[in-house]
Structure 1
């Protein structure tokens, strides 16, 4: 950063209170400024093109898209763009998806504000920033076997409270096939029953209930 030039930050979050809070935090920093606040993916892309921010803070859940998709859209427009996910979701799978989409940093809401400021400065300097507590979760599950797309579909239906027969009808597969998938899901997640599987999947960000 050249002397006297502040880091220009764009905030994307559909909660006005969050955007206002971030604006206050950033405004107190002598080396930063907020150039805009967007509440949707469409508005964020428009503001990004207009203001060309140095760092964009992106929530994972927006009204018209996901943070993952928004990050990919931003990078399609500007491959050198630097984004940081700022979200309430701290599951290892969410972090994996965000980094795979192209995010350079990942910060969970509720962490001390110094963590966010450190992330902004690090990402602006061309580095990656994932807090140690979040990175540890990634390491813990590195060797975990991933669920297949069909297993994810079955798990989502389990989370909606459906029984095997209902899941089979919904996905147009045999009930015995559903049972096979359920057994595989339990094994991969290291749990003993369906309820525990849903609990673990939600905590890790494997699935989300809307």
Structure 2
């Protein structure tokens, strides 16, 4: 695959060892390429203008600082590039907080490499991703809305929960000893029952009924 057709990924973090490691990981794939700033790219705006990334993998606190330094706001940023929140494991803000801000997905720095790479590809494709390792400090006062959750069979709910976590159909099938066709059937039935039309709808529903809380 030509480099021009690869997903261009920019890692934003203050830890140079972590950045180098992620860049190496990203460049080891056939579908992605790390965009590495030179000394001339001093600000985030410089990086965006000269490197043209498709996806940012960013520590949210570091990203907020860099946005402030160059006078950008997050709403402007997310109109230019997809952003994956790459959170410290001690971050107690819930995944819903980041998705509400406009991040395309949320994972922690403890996530396994294959899942991180899948998350990057998923948000580039327009899906929302929240990994099950995300530590959530949920709002205990929030009452979940009434839902049609009781309409789902146990298998339909199981599959939909996995889909909300960003897992692929083959992965769900392997983990639950089902065929990929059966998993697709359960997903189809569940989304029809709940009138969910996209991955974003599924993630929003999962958060509203507490499936993504820890």
TM-score, normalised relative to structure 1 = 0.55
Flag structure 1 segments of 5+ consecutive residues without an equivalent: 146-203, 205-210
SS in 1 for 2:86: strand
The answer to whether structure 1 residue 110 and structure 2 residue 110 are counterparts is yes
- Give the structure 2 partner of residue 179 of structure 1: none
SS in 1 for 2:33: strand
- Give the structure 1 partner of residue 24 of structure 2: 24
Question: CA 1:91/1:67 → structure 2, altered by over 3 Å: closer, same or farther?
Answer: farther
Question: CA 1:68/1:31 → structure 2, altered by over 3 Å: closer, same or farther?
Answer: farther
Q: Relative to structure 2, which stretch is displaced further, 59-68 or 96-105?
A: 59-68
CA–CA distance in 1 between the matches of 2:11 and 2:25?
12
- Give the structure 1 partner of residue 8 of structure 2: 8
CA–CA distance in 2 between the matches of 1:5 and 1:63?
26
- Give the structure 2 partner of residue 144 of structure 1: 141
Equivalent residue pairs, number: 140
SS in 2 for 1:96: helix
CA–CA distance in 1 between the matches of 2:3 and 2:36?
22
Question: CA 1:18/1:133 → structure 2, altered by over 3 Å: closer, same or farther?
Answer: closer
CA–CA distance in 2 between the matches of 1:116 and 1:55?
12
Question: CA 1:67/1:78 → structure 2, altered by over 3 Å: closer, same or farther?
Answer: closer
Q: Deviations over 1:151-186 (max 9, x none)?
A: xxxxxxxxxxxxxxxxxxxxxxxxxxxxxxxxxxxx
- Which structure has the larger Rg? 1
1:164-203 equivalences under 5 Å are none
CA–CA distance in 2 between the matches of 1:69 and 1:126?
28
1:80-95 equivalences under 5 Å are 80-89=80-89, 91=91, 93-95=93-95
TM-score, normalised relative to structure 2 = 0.54
